Structure 1
């Protein structure tokens, strides 16, 4: 029974998500799940189920035309389970690590023990579910109204489209019932804006949203008691997320401005709206409002970098996370300055956290390199195209240049593995490293090898 003890939370998370993928695969292989009435091939069902549970959005068949309503509802349920599951479990694992390390976490009240108590876990689970459903409901209402009034859809169809795309957006899944994603609505702010709000809120993570909501309620109530400032985690997440979003929006808009296959045919406002969306979506949202395969190679490279970094911790976004990226940047700055320790916004960064960040980044980069090399050996596609698919899978983004469906079965299975590793890897690895931290009783003599 050692598997079920608190010392193995990362293993439990992996097993739980693997079971969800297995159940989803079986359901999608049922004849009732396809429009044709035929059973979906095992690789197609496995790929779709993994993409949904891992809230990625990569597909090998068109979601709206290949799957029946039953199949689409299965995919929607898998997205919701995967999104809520990863957000809840990541928050609980973060809380467990905080207690193990003896630190105060802004998510809940100060604990007196190093274990995760039932009351605290209940608050986290209830908070995640309540926040998620509330945001999804608001976005679904706006989208439903727009589909109903702007595109002559019946109320039932508009409601269905609104709910599906709302859940997909908030969970950063990127699944769409349209064959070209959001290209038909590229300049429609009543569609684009709610989608952006959804994946930004989901991508920031529950701890950040919880803390922001707590400060907002305090301000609205004009409470007299003093409330503490933003936590270090929230500051790093918000500022880094905003900075990378601005970088992506500006750079991609500038590069694609005159591209006749992407932003070129649009007017000035349309170019700005579509370009900004193209810069925000790589934060693992997965929706596209332009033809990704027609983008300039430099835009693809920038998108690769944005996808690899991803969004906030304990959220529905993937990637190595913006906090990991920011912490490494502070480590580099401190080393360049010759400072003996790393300080971030008035706080000293523990050496263990620095090592964990480096480990997550290097292992992530290794997975991308190995995956890219393997698929290039299986196919004849260009490096930038293959790397784009691999990074999109590992970072659970869902953007594609259009080659996913044409890849051989072996390459698609490899993308399945990358999606699963990318979704659970950074979270479980960081948790395992933190929980395994121990004090060394002795040290060897120090020596400095030549670096560089």
Structure 2
């Protein structure tokens, strides 16, 4: 893990994806008489393992109960794997830089102890089980009491949605996604709670559990993640609700209270969840662009959310603020931001933009769809969100293969790139003469 983290991570997720593809191609996985073809199984497996939620077939109609359980397990293992690897890589990075300030023999081993890894893994499993159990009970009770579901079916749907929500998976058991629950706060709010919790990231959840009442003692990472999440949710909810308030195909026919609930739901889901209670394909272009931005930013680090992460976006904003003020260094909430972290944030953001633009251009060439739809689909795949305007099943095998690669890169790329940049950082032994080119 210390020497080749990227190889181990990509290999592990590749093996899990291959296993999921093989299981979904079994005769009993599809509800019909014929087995799923390779591309359908591969696309579904990658989307589940990368907790994206894009799909090329209708999950409740195409897959049997066995196939749905396979998707459920892939989401759970994918979510646990993402939180585990991101947390362990964070420990590796912190240990590496902590060594510079320690002189003990134990610190100089430059290794992450097996006991520490086991402790992290145990805590992640415990936190995941706790949140999913609470949400499952709430959803099961609501489906049983409010929708006359048999207890067994209510428990199954409650468990599926709890796992899908906390892991930001985006898979559903209803053909209209969650549009049938648009006016039901007792169903929507537990889903929102699970999505936000999973998107904050394991380090933040752990710190909030220990120091919830003393914000002044929170780490810089937790402060940025919590504050950034709040700002994005408020701004996103306001922008989406105002833009769609009179849209007859989305929020227009709803009551004011339901409009607010649906608007908030629509602002939370671009963090990486992929659920929708209104028709995404009928939203105005301005609303789609707002969701593009929210999806690209994503959620917290070392969590199940995708995107370039809130911390990356926030750090770039702090860098811009310092540059505008003419300050030589970047100060954030009483701390100075290292130059290496600034370069890492800039690298991840610009590479993400380049990847999204390149894939958007390719899909515009090989498909008949417009820019709004194609850009939305590409950003959703890169940020592993799962929201869709409905064009994914119709973009052809080549387009679907491109989205498969984009989901895999978008899920693992930012994490492995950030850790690789941090772990490879080393001092330069000399500097060349300085020369300042014209900027702007």
Q: TM-score range by the shorter chain?
A: over 0.9
SS for the counterpart of 1:327 is: helix
Confirm or deny: 8 A CA contact 1:7 1:435 kept in the other structure: no
Q: Which moved more, 1:268-277 or 1:317-326?
A: 268-277
2-structure distance, mates of 1:394, 1:233: 23
1:196 is the counterpart of 2:184: no
Aligned to 1:237: 225
Q: How does 1:31-430 map to 2 (within 5 A)?
A: 31-102=27-98, 112-113=107-108, 114-216=110-212, 229-430=217-418
Q: Quote the offset at 1:280 in angstroms.
A: 1.2
Confirm or deny: 8 A CA contact 1:169 1:199 kept in the other structure: yes
2-structure distance, mates of 1:102, 1:14: 27
Q: Quote the offset at 1:119 in angstroms.
A: 2.0
2-structure distance, mates of 1:147, 1:57: 22
Confirm or deny: 8 A CA contact 2:99 2:107 kept in the other structure: no
Q: Quote the offset at 1:103 in angstroms.
A: 6.9
Q: Quote the offset at 1:118 in angstroms.
A: 1.7
Q: Quote the offset at 1:7 in angstroms.
A: 1.4
2-structure distance, mates of 1:437, 1:70: 47
Q: Quote the offset at 1:112 in angstroms.
A: 3.6
Aligned length in residues: 435
SS for the counterpart of 1:412 is: helix
1:15 is the counterpart of 2:3: no
SS for the counterpart of 1:102 is: helix
2-structure distance, mates of 1:246, 1:115: 42
Q: Quote the offset at 1:227 in angstroms.
A: 10
TM-score, structure 2 as length reference: 0.97
Confirm or deny: 8 A CA contact 2:306 2:383 kept in the other structure: yes
Q: Quote the offset at 1:380 in angstroms.
A: 1.2
CA distance change for structure 1 residues 328 and 56 in 2, over 3 Å: closer, same or farther?
same
Q: Quote the offset at 1:407 in angstroms.
A: 1.0
Confirm or deny: 8 A CA contact 2:144 2:150 kept in the other structure: yes
Q: Quote the offset at 1:37 in angstroms.
A: 3.1
2-structure distance, mates of 1:227, 1:43: 48
Q: Any gaps of 5 or more consecutive residues in structure 1?
A: 105-110, 220-225
1-structure distance, mates of 2:14, 2:347: 24
Aligned alpha-carbon RMSD (Å): 1.5
2-structure distance, mates of 1:188, 1:123: 39
1-structure distance, mates of 2:388, 2:70: 23
Confirm or deny: 8 A CA contact 2:244 2:250 kept in the other structure: yes
Q: Deviations over 1:243-295 (max 9, x none)?
A: 01111100000000000000000011011111111111111111000000000
Q: Quote the offset at 1:228 in angstroms.
A: 7.2
Aligned to 1:107: none
2-structure distance, mates of 1:321, 1:11: 22
Confirm or deny: 8 A CA contact 1:278 1:288 kept in the other structure: yes
Q: Deviations over 1:385-435 (max 9, x none)?
A: 000000000000000000001111000000000000000000000000001
2-structure distance, mates of 1:48, 1:54: 10
2-structure distance, mates of 1:446, 1:247: 42
Q: Quote the offset at 1:231 in angstroms.
A: 0.3
Q: Deviations over 1:82-127 (max 9, x none)?
A: 00000011000000010011179xxxxxx84532112211111001
Confirm or deny: 8 A CA contact 2:195 2:268 kept in the other structure: no
Confirm or deny: 8 A CA contact 1:59 1:404 kept in the other structure: yes
SS for the counterpart of 2:217 is: coil
2-structure distance, mates of 1:10, 1:326: 25
SS for the counterpart of 2:94 is: helix
CA distance change for structure 1 residues 19 and 238 in 2, over 3 Å: closer, same or farther?
same
